[in-house]
Structure formats: structure tokens, C-alpha cells
Structure 1
């Protein structure tokens, strides 16, 4: 939490002084009649003393978030089922986190098994005592993927894959993480969802899982607010994950305007480091907006310019859920 100390030694929260002073990201600008004040602002520039948990971090967005947190010096627990030295394992992600300046720790966890999730957080509690950042990202892609057709064309197991692993597992992880987050002075939560929570993408079970996560996060934010813990939803756009890149070799896909997993991770990390994150609690944060707000680029020094949110809102598959209050 950032604070400001006046010359006479009293401390005030930065949120209080935003009403009096004007701030940019790294400097303080004061009206001329306040120039007699000596002001110190502690800006969070790294995460060296922070403990993060990223679920589903062997590949894709989860891997990108873990690496971006590592860039800021964070200690990152990476969870998932795949071990070993391959390029899509939690062990490799943890190693890369360390190489990027953080400390990566991998723990195998089947997020479809409540006992595994419980054991994960018991172990983390014993090792470090508290959690500062929880990123719920784990997701299971059905095999074969449920793309196209009607829900009756896919096995019922697809629901368990996309809602059980993609929604229930987030709830279970958040439940077990709560007591460890309460021990942190700056805990925050980020749940990785998708525009599929608001418009048709892939299948109805996919949409149900994402819409459920959006609502779960909004309601968790209400219950966490008295604890001082913000919780937000992250909406990536089209992301060139390993799965999508592989799929593009078999079907025509335009990935020229896609976001890289690391760029998504940098957007997530910038959001998590924002001193005013509580003002956004319970909201959906689009990656495309965050990369502009925080002036972010991917590892190649580029970033997509297409507005994914605008494109899907104008598409024929965009169908907002009905207002249940009407």
C-alpha cells in the first residue's frame, strides 16, 4: 500500500491524497499553494517480497502470467499436472521464472481433485506462510475440443472439463487460499476468464463456465472487500497460446493481431501492481485496454492494435445474457 508522509511526520493513504493532489505514475504534482509540503511516495516497482500462486501455469496464459511476475522479482508457485523438462511443463515454467529474475517453484496439482488443491495450499502455508497474489487460470481443454456443432454433439464430460476445472476449481482454490491471503498486507486476486462469458465462443458449456467465473469474481469481490482484498476478472483477446498455434497449422487462422501469452502476463502483472486496484474490484479488465493504459509491449517490442472487444460486440454471435432483474 502506498503512503504519503508530510514533513511533520504523519502518514496518510495515497487514496486520501488523490482527492487533493494530482498524481502521475511516478511523480507527485501539487497545486502551488501546497508546495510547502514535503511529500514522499513509495511506488511499487517490483514484487521481490511477494508470493504468488498461478494455477495452470505449464503453458498458455498461465505461463505468460508466471513469467511476467518473475520479471518483477516475484516468488511464483506454478501449478499443473505436467512435469519434466519439456516446453509445456510446470517445471520449465518455474525455471524460466527464476531466469527472469524471480523465484519459480513448481507443485504438481490436479485441479480436478479437491484433495490435491487442499494439499497444495497446506504446503504453501508451511513453506511461506501467506499468499500475496492468487491468479486462478487453470483450465482443461476437452479432447477433442468442443468446437462447433450443438451441445448434443459433444459428450457430457465436456461440461465437467470446462465448468468443473474452469470454474469449480477456481472456487476451491480461492477457498483454500483465503486464510493465507488474510495474512498478507497486500493480497489481491485475479481470475482469468474470456469474452466467452459475454458472447458465444466455441460452445455453450464454455460460455457457461466463463460467465459463471465472471459472476463468481464479482460476488467474491463483495465478500473480500472488508478484508481489503481486491478481486478482478481478466479478459484476454485472441491469444497465440501453444494450443492455438498448433491448431493454426491444421485450420486457417489469422494470428497477426493476437496477443502473446507474455503480453497478457505483463498486462495482468501491471494491473496487480496498480496501487489503486481496489477501485476496480469486481470488474472485468480487458487486456487490450491494459496494454494501452500501462504502455506495454510483448517480447518482440510490438503489440496488437485491433480492438477485440469492439469486434465481438458487433459480431453476429454477440448475445448478451438477459437481465434477470427485469
Structure 2
């Protein structure tokens, strides 16, 4: 039995995997990369039901289960033989923010439900680590690739709850240390901070006045920024760094889907 790769040859163009692409930032990244000409693989627990174009290769995956993650990379290796870009968006930290009629998200650490640790650290940080390890095994022999970890300002100040800060700080440290080990192979690793993104959850909350969307970003904007980074000939000079998506966009002249240039938030703005 021949594989797709054997039948049709390795695919032309750049190949990206976006984890956690069923909704939110992950879905937007996948759409942005597809529009930029990438061949896009997407994963998620509910990826089969996601509102995504048929051109994307959907691989259902619960990244809490290592064997399912391994099957994703086995499929990419079998069908394409390579991976050019990994964007780690898988994240379970925004699930079950309210329980029993109480909004538990901002509770002190001693009152936090432990499923939040699992959602942020295991479905988030650990999933990114495991996916990056698989990706590195495919990228290092070719000395080509880029790994992007979606992170946020909670790494640098208290925002919401302690577990959130731990998870984002761990993501940034993971990025920094992976960059050291991948530098001899010319593979950059970046932590990327979005601003306020118009995800499904944010739009729903905005209807009640919870958010001012005047300076917000579309989910696709992040994909556009990542495409700009991928094609930056000097990207290795940024490896291991934390980058603010809107600041990178201004540098590269990248606009949002509405033609606007979102402001680059700073720590003082958060």
C-alpha cells in the first residue's frame, strides 16, 4: 500500500502544522497561513467540526494523549516527508472559567480547581513541548524550520491567576532554552504575544461590555505576522526571544484583515 507521498511526491510550498486550530487564535493562525500560501495541517479535539476550509488537512488529536500527538507527526512524515513550521496554539486554559455559578478564573491559587493546571500546563505547555520535540526531529536533519509558541504578558506580571502566569512564563523559558539547543541547526524558536484577539469568546464577552474592541486584532492577523517572521532572512537573530505580534507587524508592514494596523501593547497597557 503506497502512501500519499509515494503516490504524488512531496508537496510543493511550505508546510505548516497549527495545533489547537478548532477555534480561537489557532483557527485564525491556520487561516492566515493558508491565505499566505502554506499547506496547512490542523489539529484539535473537535477539529472535524471546525469551520475551516477543505484545503486544510484535519487530524483529530487530544494533545493530552502523547500517542495521538505521535500519530499526527507520523501522518505528516508519511504524507509530506517534512515540516517547515510548527505553531503551538493548543491550550485548555480558558475552559470551565465559571463553575457552580461562580467565576473561578481569578480565584487565589489555593482555591483554584486543579483542572485549570491540567488545561494550562498539560494541554498547553506540555503539549507544546511534545509537539516541538517531534517537530525538531523532522527539522534538524534539514537545518530548516521555525517553531512559534503562542504566549502572553501573564509571563511578566500577575494577570488573572497564578497558574496562568506559571504557564506563560514556562512557555517563554521553554522557548529560550529550545532556541539554545536548536541554534546549531539554524532553527529559530519564538514566543509570540498577541494583543486582544477577536476570538469567539472575546466577541461574546464584548456584547456585554466586557471588552473594548477598538484596538483588537483578528485571529487571522497572528497568522499574517507568523508568515512575515517565517520569511524574514534575519530571523535567527531573534531566536529565543519574546516578540509582540503587533510590533512585528509594524516592522514588516503587515496589516490586519480590515486594513488596520493594531497598536503594539506594552506591559504598562495590560
Could you state the TM-score of these two structures normalised by the residue count of structure 2? 0.88
Q: What is the number of residues matched between the two proteins?
A: 254
Is contact 1:55-1:62 (8 Å) kept?
Answer: yes
Residue 144 of structure 1 and its aligned partner are, at CA, apart by: 2.5
Deviations 1:125-166 (A, max 9, x none): 111111111111111123135422212232111111111111
Q: Which structure 2 residues correspond to residues 96-115 of structure 1 after superposition, within 5 A?
A: 98=55, 104-115=56-67
Residue aligning to 2:242: 284
- Within 2, Cα distance between the matches of 1:59 and 1:275? 31
* 2:52 matches 1:93: yes
Is contact 2:19-2:90 (8 Å) kept?
Answer: yes
* 2:194 matches 1:236: yes
Q: Which structure 2 residues correspond to residues 35-184 of structure 1 after superposition, within 5 A?
A: 49-85=13-49, 89=50, 92-95=51-54, 98=55, 104-140=56-92, 141-144=94-97, 146-184=104-142
Residue aligning to 1:261: 219
Q: Which structure 2 residues correspond to residues 193-204 of structure 1 after superposition, within 5 A?
A: 193-204=151-162
Assess, with a 3 A threshold, how the Cα gap between structure 1 residues 130 and 211 changes in structure 2: closer, same or farther. Answer: same
Residue 310 of structure 1 and its aligned partner are, at CA, apart by: 4.7
Is contact 1:195-1:237 (8 Å) kept?
Answer: no
Residue 275 of structure 1 and its aligned partner are, at CA, apart by: 1.1
Could you state the TM-score of these two structures normalised by the residue count of structure 1? 0.74
Deviations 1:156-193 (A, max 9, x none): 11111111111001111111222211244521111111
Is contact 1:56-1:138 (8 Å) kept?
Answer: yes
Runs of 4+ in 1 over 4 A off after TM superposition: none
RMSD between aligned residues? 1.8
Task: Please tell me whether Structure 1 or Structure 2 has the larger radius of gyration of its CA atoms.
Answer: 1
Larger relative contact order, structure 1 or 2 (CA cutoff 8 Å, min sep 6): 2
- Within 1, Cα distance between the matches of 2:245 and 2:130? 25
- Within 1, Cα distance between the matches of 2:116 and 2:267? 29
Unaligned runs of 5+ in 2: 1-10, 99-103
* 2:186 matches 1:222: no
- Within 1, Cα distance between the matches of 2:184 and 2:53? 33
Unaligned runs of 5+ in 1: 1-46, 99-103, 316-326
